[in-house]
Amino acid sequence: MNRRSFLKTSAGITCATGTIPFVNQVSAQHSETGSGKQQFLELRHFSILSEDKKKQVDGFLKQAVIPALNRRGIQPVGVFHQMPEKDDHSIYMLVPYQTLDQFSSITSDLAADETFLEAGSDYLNSEKKDPPYTRVNTTLMKAFTGYPKVKTPRKGERFFELRTYESHNEKKAILKVEMFNTAELAIFEAVGLDGVFYGETLAGPDMPNLNYMLAYKNKDERKKSWQAFSKNPDWQTLKKDSRFKDTVSNIRAVFLQPAPYSQI
């Protein structure tokens, strides 16, 4: 398929006539959630090899980064610890921006912020031979139209799941986002799957893909919610829609717990 044909196909995806029968119903259910400008979401993954270094990064994020972002009206900022795995003490940070300009200027902005530099001096002055992390990978996303802003979880939900859906080409990735916006988000809500964010990846690893985060009270609630989802009659109809066939080629999940100072 050439570029002209692909763009024409992509543009026509959302206006195709072969839609599932309950699309209008679920779209109406999400009119309140879907109102407002879509945020741009940055997900940073700090790869860390020891508990001591994890504490150093935590201190930097708590004392310097989050206060500096909040002073600029950027909130809520989520920080999550990967549930323990051998030799992996990863930290994930979720930052919502109102515009791409806000995202692109934040590094230089903080570099000129004396309060930030002082609060983060221990981290920022670390030596090359003893860095606080091995690498930081960043994924930049645009929030779904049906879920345009980061949402704090319901009270008592402190167990998180970060899910990545990869697609084998760009057309299928667009269709999977449409599948969420037109129907799947409403099904998630109906069965009690509580979303923190849903984002289409603009830049990052393993593209094309989308990422989203769910919150639960515990593992038992997660199990019950996904069982209810798999049995939901609307989902049974949706997954049989031929337009959405083979939209996901791989699914990855990471389980997380919020840092004590996380704003999500």
pLDDT at 87: 76
41 sits in which H/E element: strand 40-47
C-beta of residue 79 within 8 angstroms of C-beta of residue 23: no
Two tokens at 259? 């840092």
Same domain, 158 and 189: yes
Total of domains in the chain: 2
Burial of 240 from C-beta contacts in 10 A (0-12 / 13-18 / 19+): exposed
Which of 139, 165, 190 is the last residue in one of the domains? Answer: 139
**Over 60: is that where the pLDDT of 2 sits?**
no
Distance CA 243, CA 155 (A): 37
Same domain, 58 and 135: yes
Residue 3 banded pLDDT, cuts 50, 70, 90 = very low
The overall longest dimension of the chain from CA atoms, in Å, is 60
Residue 112 lies in a domain: yes
Same domain, 150 and 119: no
Residue 91 lies in a domain: yes
pLDDT, tens only, 70-121: 999 999 999 999 987 667 899 999 999 999 999 999 999 999 999 999 999 9
Same domain, 116 and 173: no
Same domain, 80 and 151: no
pLDDT, tens only, 15-34: 333 444 333 333 333 333 44
Q: Which residues contact 146 (CB under 8 A, 6 or more apart)?
A: 27, 30, 33, 34, 180, 181, 182, 185, 198
Same domain, 217 and 247: yes
pLDDT at 17: 33
Angle ∠(84,229,79) on CA atoms, nearest 5: 30
Domain containing residue 131 = 40-139
pLDDT, tens only, 25-60: 333 333 334 446 999 999 999 999 999 999 999 999
Residue 14 lies in a domain: no
Strand partners, 160: 215, 256
Two tokens at 98? 């109102």
Same domain, 97 and 125: yes
162 sits in which H/E element: strand 159-166
Residue 4 lies in a domain: no
Residue 2 lies in a domain: no
Distance CA 198, CA 190 (A): 17
Same domain, 98 and 193: no
3-state secondary structure labels for all residues of 76-144: CCEEEEECCECCECCEEEEEEECCHHHHHHHHHHHHCCHHHHHHCHHHHCCCCCCCCCCEEEEEEEEEC
Cis peptide before 208 (omega within 30 of 0): yes
Residue 8 lies in a domain: no
* Mean confidence (pLDDT) of the chain: 89
pLDDT at 16: 37
Q: What CATH number has the domain bearing residue 182?
A: 3.30.70.100
